[in-house]
Amino acid sequence: MEYVYAALILHETGEEINEDNLTGVLEAAGVDVEESRVKALVAALEDVDIEEAIETAAAVPAAGAGAAAAGDDADADDEADEEAEAEDEEDEEEEDDAAGGEGLGDLFG
């Protein structure tokens, strides 16, 4: 996440988002910089309009809050239930993965 934050800082200050600038921001923040992650982020952001992405991201929560405030509580409750179920499924998968990993340690241990 710190890599994305560094790119946002560069964007906000009007600096070019390139490998050297991104690395400089990350190092100034005390991050152990992985060159491959820097290259990947710079490549991924090449064709992205960051300002448009920020506006789109900011508009999504506002639209959701407006719909719930307008009396669309049933849909909001359904979405909350679906999110809770998805989180429960992820938690179960993580527990299954963790339990499976314990046995591997015993094999090589």
64-89 pLDDT tens trace: 666 656 555 555 556 666 666 666 66
Instruction: Provide mean pLDDT across the span 12-36.
Output: 96
User: What percentage of the chain has pLDDT greater than the value 70?
Assistant: 56
> CA 34, 38, 41, 43 torsion: positive or negative?
negative
Per the model's pLDDT, the better-predicted residue between 84 and 10 turns out to be: 10
List of domains in the chain: 2-102 (1.10.10.1410)
Task: Specify whether the CB–CB gap between 35 and 45 falls below 8 A.
Answer: no
Compute the average pLDDT of residues 8-18. 95
In this predicted structure, what is the pLDDT of residue 30? 96
pLDDT interval class at 60 (50, 70, 90): confident
